[in-house]
Structure 1
Amino acid sequence: MGVRDDQKQATREKVLVAARDLFNDVGYEETTIRAIAERAGVSVGSVFTTFASKAEVLSHVMEHRLSDLYAEFDRVIPFLRGSTADRLCSIFAIHYEFETRRVKLFLAHIAASYSPSVDPSVTPYGRNERLTDMLRDVLDEGVRRGEVRADLDQQVVIDVLKAAYAWNYRIAANSGGQGDALVMSAAMDRQILSLAEGWRPR
Structure 2
Amino acid sequence: MSVRKTQKEATRQRVLDAARELFESKGYDTTTVREIAQLAAVSVGSVFTTFSSKGDILSQVMADRLDALYGELDRLAPHLRGSTSDRLRSIFAIHYAFETRRTRLFLAHIAAAYNWALTPSSRPYGRNPRLRNVIRDCLAEGKARGDVDPAGDLDLMVDALMASYAWTYRLAAWENADAETMSAVMDRHIGLIADGFRPRPSENA
Do both proteins adopt the same fold according to a TM-score greater than 0.5, normalized to the shorter chain? yes
Alignment pair present for 1:195 and 2:188: no
Number of the residue aligned with 1:148:
148
Distance in 1 between residues matched to 2:128 and 2:161, nearest whole Å: 13
Distance in 1 between residues matched to 2:12 and 2:106, nearest whole Å: 20
Distance in 1 between residues matched to 2:128 and 2:165, nearest whole Å: 13
Distance in 2 between residues matched to 1:58 and 1:127, nearest whole Å: 13
Contact 1:100–1:179 (Cα < 8 Å) also in 2: no
Number of the residue aligned with 2:29:
29
Distance in 2 between residues matched to 1:54 and 1:192, nearest whole Å: 34
Contact 1:165–1:188 (Cα < 8 Å) also in 2: yes
Deviation per residue, 1:73-125 (Å, 9 max, x gap):
11111111111000001111111111111111111111111011111110121
Q: What is the Cα-based RMSD across aligned positions, in Å? A: 0.9
TM-score by length of 2: 0.95
Matched residue type, 1:200: R
Distance in 2 between residues matched to 1:127 and 1:82, nearest whole Å: 29
Deviation per residue, 1:55-79 (Å, 9 max, x gap):
1111111111101111111111111
TM-score by length of 1: 0.96
Number of the residue aligned with 2:115:
115
**Post-superposition, which runs of at least 4 consecutive aligned residues in structure 1 deviate over 6 A?**
none
Deviation per residue, 1:117-176 (Å, 9 max, x gap):
11111012112211111111111111111101100001001001111000001001102x
Please state how far the C-alpha of 1:46 moved relative to its aligned partner.
1.0
User: After superposition, where does 1:1-202 map in structure 2 within 5 Å?
Assistant: 1-175=1-175, 178-202=176-200
**SS of equivalent to 2:148:** coil
Please state how far the C-alpha of 1:179 moved relative to its aligned partner.
4.3
Distance in 1 between residues matched to 2:148 and 2:120, nearest whole Å: 36
Structure 2 residue runs of 5 or longer lacking an equivalent are 201-205
**SS of equivalent to 1:68:** helix
Contact 1:87–1:138 (Cα < 8 Å) also in 2: yes
Distance in 2 between residues matched to 1:143 and 1:111, nearest whole Å: 33
**SS of equivalent to 2:125:** coil
What percentage of aligned pairs have identical amino acids?
A: 59
Matched residue type, 2:113: S
